[in-house]
Amino acid sequence: MILLNTTPSKGYLVTVAITQLLFFFMLALHFYLRLNGVDSVLNLPIASMHFIVIAILCGSLILGIYSFVLIYQLSKINSLLKYEIKERQQAESILRQLTDNMLDIIYKTSLHGDIVYISPSQKFLLGYENQELIDQKFFKLLHSDDVESVVNLFHESIKNKTAYRQEFRFKCKDGNFKWLEATVNHLSDPKGSVVGSVFCCREITWRKQLENAQALERQRLFSLLDSLPAFVLLIQKDHSIKFMNKYFLEHFGPFYGRSCFEALASKDYPCEVCIIAEVFESKTPKSFEFADYKGRTYEILAYPFFDVDGTTLVLELGIDITDRKQLQKELIRMDRLNLIGEMAAGIGHEIRNPMTTVRGFLQMIASKEQSKDYREYYKLMIEELDRANTIITEYLNVAKTKEADKKVQNINDIINSILPLLVADAIKDDKYINVQMEKVPNLLLDDKEIRQIILNLVRNGLDAMQPGQYLTIRTYLENDCVALAVQDEGEGINPEVLDKIGTPFFTTKDTGTGLGLSVCYGIANRHNAELTIESDEKGTTVSCHFKTELGES
């Protein structure tokens, strides 16, 4: 295509200048004649007339020459214009053939969005005849949900004179909608003002359907992960968390982008033995147990995982096994109790009978006058026999398998009935008991066994305290359970020892048998209650929660 130079030529400018000079010359001559009172050029002197004639002839000659030059240049320009018009027509023809035969839809709009041209390819995709769309406002053919965003972006881009890309749904002749991805450029006049826009559209319905299907599958996957009773994490190589499910959010909080050791262990540095790092290195699954900073224990399964972009991640599945571990401990404890029960049931009574006989004869011998020098020894032997008898009694209590003799009664009444005995035990060692009893419903209880559990818990608490300290007995309602809590002000129990509390024969007392709490666990089990122990440096609280359904059974 030839670009024409539209700047006026020198010949044209000279011709215009001479024409103007001749005009001013004739005008000056007219005023000259009027001022000198000459009516006609013919009345001038001969010399003046000769000068005027020569001037007019020279001007006419020059004007003629430059007029010829001007006509020649205009002819040349005309030829060039014809050539350029022909080239433009050929280019437009080629462009029209391209747009008519391409699958993409191209349409041109006015400044106000009226369609002034649309490629025939639209009929294959949209089903319209071209004339049905000409002069239509294109945004009236869009899905109602897309109109606002398309119109806003269209006007904004015209204002800023910028091209843009956008996706929208275009209405077909049959009433259905197809997704189009449009690249939009604006047309400008020589002054730079936008006069129209060109939309180059490609159908992406299939891509949108695929994206929607992927989004649906992704939603299903996330719904599945969020419904799991376990936490799920995707961890990057720098220990940062890329994904967490609902369980993790509810139990640990939002830790997106932060480290796993910060979220799980509440640390600002990696764990000394990092299983996640081992999975990244070995690319093999690993499982391990982990106790978080809240005291919950999790069984964690860590798998190598590859993201959609090929990045290596670690998928962590954490199952809370705290209750399972507690149940396992309880089962072990019950197995030991059963073993003790079998032993006690087999030999308890056989041992007691001869011991009773020995004790009776020792008392009889000690009462004789000739034995007065040895009465201290007899007294010590009797005390040791009584101690052995007490141990056997505790054995039998632990091994008790018969059904408790339960009656509907109130635990507050049982506490009040033995409170004087408890206060007396405390006062003799300069210790004090504080009782806080709320109104609680009646339960099915074995009076003797509940007395036993209260006595054991209170005496354990008193033994753990120094003179002048207080022990608190509380009853209250909690989560549809009646709670009995005994809280002391002792030094607390070492965490390593706390795990062994309740194990038969385990004791921290010099004179203890290690069976007191085992008896309490057995009583709680027969009452379908749960015994829990909490301890810190400020003291220990032992709680027994009785389900209120017991009163209805």
pTM, two decimal places = 0.42
Over residues 205-240, the pLDDT tens digits come to 999 988 888 888 878 877 888 888 888 888 888 889
Confidence of residue 51 (pLDDT cuts 50, 70, 90): low
* Cα pseudo-dihedral 254, 256, 261, 264, rounded to 10: 30
pLDDT of residue 553: 36
Q: Tell me which CATH homologous superfamily contains domain 102-209.
A: PAS domain (3.30.450.20)
Q: Which fold has domain 407-552?
A: Heat Shock Protein 90 (3.30.565)
From the candidate CATH numbers 3.90.226.10, 3.90.1170.50, 1.10.260.40, 3.30.450.20, the one assigned to the domain spanning 228-320: 3.30.450.20
pLDDT at residue 329 greater than cutoff 60: yes
**Mind giving me the DSSP string for 224-268?**
HHHHSSSEEEEE-TTSBEEEE-HHHHHHH---TTSBHHHHHH--S
Alpha-carbon distances of 496 from 86, 415, 463, 487, 493, rounded to whole Å: 99, 32, 20, 20, 8
**How many degrees, rounded to 5, is the angle at CA 312 between CA 310 and CA 314?**
140
Over residues 355-389, the pLDDT tens digits come to 888 888 888 888 888 888 888 888 888 888 887 77
> Are the C-beta atoms of residues 63 and 19 closer than 8 Å to each other?
yes
Architecture of the structural domain at 325-398: Orthogonal Bundle (1.10)
Over residues 515-534, the pLDDT tens digits come to 667 778 888 888 889 888 88
pLDDT of residue 81: 78
> Are the C-beta atoms of residues 504 and 336 closer than 8 Å to each other?
yes
What number is the average pLDDT over the span 439-452?
Answer: 89
